[in-house]
Amino acid sequence: MLKLLGDIYSDQKQNDKAIEQYNKYIEIKDDNDYVYLSLGKCYWRKNMFEDALINMKKSYELYSNSDEVMWYLVRINSVAFEGEIGKILGPVETQFGFHLIYIDNITDGELPDFEVVVNQVKSAALHDKQQKVYDDELSRLREKYIIIHKKNQGKFQKRCLQKCRHLFTM
């Protein structure tokens, strides 16, 4: 519900209210890449680039396949790397308009260890294979069987009994 409220406020460009709802959501559940991306967009629209960058990086850590997150990160970094500490850069055009970027600090990047990257790639490949097997099996079962959800099970049983009684009273 909090995420939905955040989305509604965000769509209406009520960034402060959206930020409040997204932060409440994160206090409860902090592993949703979409919420961090949405929070980053709200900060971006408020020209709060440092907070935007922090949340978009968190979104990217949780789900590194997001093209949208990459677009923002590349946009921010491409401009930021052209400048010097203490300088204002821009204007930078984004889908939200034009922005100025102030560089207050530069931190050198680090290359991850090869073994870490290899393990991440192996893990992602295994996950993709497992997901495909799961999806294929679920599709096969859906074609073969009627799926009854536990919360609807009682209603389904009553309908079956009514139909059975109807057949026997004919």
Which pLDDT tens digit goes with each residue over 33-52? 889 989 988 998 887 877 88
> H or E stretch including 1?
none
Of residues 126 and 105, more confidence is placed in: 126
How far apart are the C-alpha atoms of 135 and 157, rounded to whole Å?
Answer: 28
Give the model confidence (pLDDT) of 126-146 as tens digits: 999 999 999 899 888 888 877
CA distances from 75 to 54, 59, 69, 80, 93 (A): 14, 16, 10, 9, 9
Nearest to 81 by CA among 41, 108, 56, 99: 108
Give the C-alpha separation, 78 to 80, whole Å: 6
